[in-house]
Chains A and B, each alone.
Chain A
């Protein structure tokens, strides 16, 4: 049997007409990406989940304003971006938890201590970046957006986005040099 996957644009058009089921499918396709982006933006999983829910709710409410359905990803992440920057960032306790245990328990893939250590190192390196650089790297590396799309999401000039990504990557390159050699 041949399945033809329903395109996002069809789901968006249906959702714009009030089809909640279509919107649910759309959410199920995007919630992981939006959540992952928000986790790294705000640094807290519970906050990120709240923001992800708010993002999808706002997206639903504003869906009729989305004229070009092909731009849904940028539009959705722009909402998420605005949600993140409008939130008061919580200060997380330093050293309060064993981050290795947290990292290992969060992912069954991290079965070895070495893998968990690498994960913690990468996460720490990302956390140490300035917010704007971390967000630019996240949108580029993990979400796969082009520079001009990141500019649209973050409402920043293209040259600024490039500078943020370059600076972020250079800082990560330095911080992760030992880990990168082991990869």
Chain B
């Protein structure tokens, strides 16, 4: 039946570009049979498109574990792949992984009254508030792991604070030194300018009096 190089399904389903569509339309102008076929396909498509959209019964949403905010899994990955910004967290996360097992940092879905959420850590025992997940790695002492992780995180935070303070102090020293250098240059320039003006004034004064004496 079809005498065009293009399939009529492709035409109806929008798979052809403008020039190909034009070719098919020229063919349709001459073929009642092809027009009927296109009409049937279009009606079928319209019937299909009339089907109501399926709505998910619950929203799917994700959160990260507060313990690891604002960094988390990506920072660990970033650190492991050489990203400097995540280095401090990466060390803490590595300790967590070392002592607590990989399950502690695995993202997961958890359900609550609002739907499903993603968290990092082992699955809580029952009906957790996902914002405060309780890690329960299998085969490990939960309290011991939590203490080790908390200690590692606290140590890293202290190191971060010290590093930041050192950085700020270093930058402050550099800034003050730079300011002093600039001030000295400015003073020097100002002094030179003053001397120049003074010299010009002296010259003008000298010329003025000489002129007055001649008169």
Mark A residues whose CB is within 8 Å of B: 16-20, 23-24, 27-28, 31-32, 35-36, 39-40, 45, 48-49, 52-53, 56-57, 60-61, 64, 106-107, 109-110, 118-119, 122-123, 126, 137, 140-142, 146-147, 162, 165-166, 169, 172-173, 176-177, 179-181, 183
Contacts and interface: CB of A to CB of B under 8 A. Distances in A.
A35 B56 contact: yes
A39 B51 CA distance: 13
Interface stretch (B66-74, B158-166, B170-178, B207-215): B66-74
B116 A53 contact: yes
Interface of B: 7, 9-10, 13, 15, 40-41, 43-64, 71-75, 77-78, 107-109, 116, 118
Question: Closest 3 interchain pairs by CB?
Answer: A18-B74, A180-B43, A107-B52
A18 B75 contact: yes
Contacts of B75: 18
Main secondary structure of the interface of A (DSSP, over half): helix
A122 B50 contact: yes
Contacts of A141: 13, 45, 48-49
Nearest to B55: A32
A20 B54 contact: no
Contacts of B74: 16-19, 64
B56 A32 contact: yes
Contacts of A39: 54
Contact of A179 (B47, B56, B107): B47
Contact of B62 (A24, A119, A179): A24
- Chain B CB within 10 A, most for which of A20, A107, A123: A20
A8 B211 CA distance: 83
A117 B78 CA distance: 55
A36 B53 contact: yes
Contact of A183 (B10, B50, B62): B50
Nearest to B119: A20
B67 to A, nearest CB: 14
Contacts of B49: 141-142
Given A20-B118, A147-B15, A169-B9, A119 B58 contact: no
20 contacts: A18-B75, A18-B77, A20-B62, A20-B64, A20-B118, A24-B61, A27-B60, A27-B61, A32-B54, A36-B54, A49-B56, A106-B52, A109-B52, A141-B48, A142-B49, A142-B51, A169-B44, A172-B47, A177-B40, A180-B44
B58 to A, nearest CB: 7
A24 B118 CA distance: 10
Contacts of B9: 162, 165-166, 169
A21 B47 CA distance: 38
A64 B77 contact: yes
A53 to B, nearest CB: 5
A129 B17 CA distance: 29
